[in-house]
Structure 1
Amino acid sequence: MSAKARPLIDPARCTGCGRCVAACAPHVLWLEAADPRGWGSKRAVLHDPSGCTGCADCLRVCPFDAVAMRRAPEQPLSAANAAAPPAAPAPGRSPPH
Structure 2
Amino acid sequence: MLKEAKKYLNLEDDWSEDDEILTFFIEAAKQYVQKQIDVDFDETNALHRLAVYLNVAHQYSNREPTGEKKKSLEFSLKSIINQINLTG
Structure of greater relative contact order (alpha carbons < 8 Å, 6+ residues apart): 1
- TM-score normalised by L of structure 2: 0.26
More helix by share: 2
- TM-score normalised by L of structure 1: 0.25
More strand by share: 1
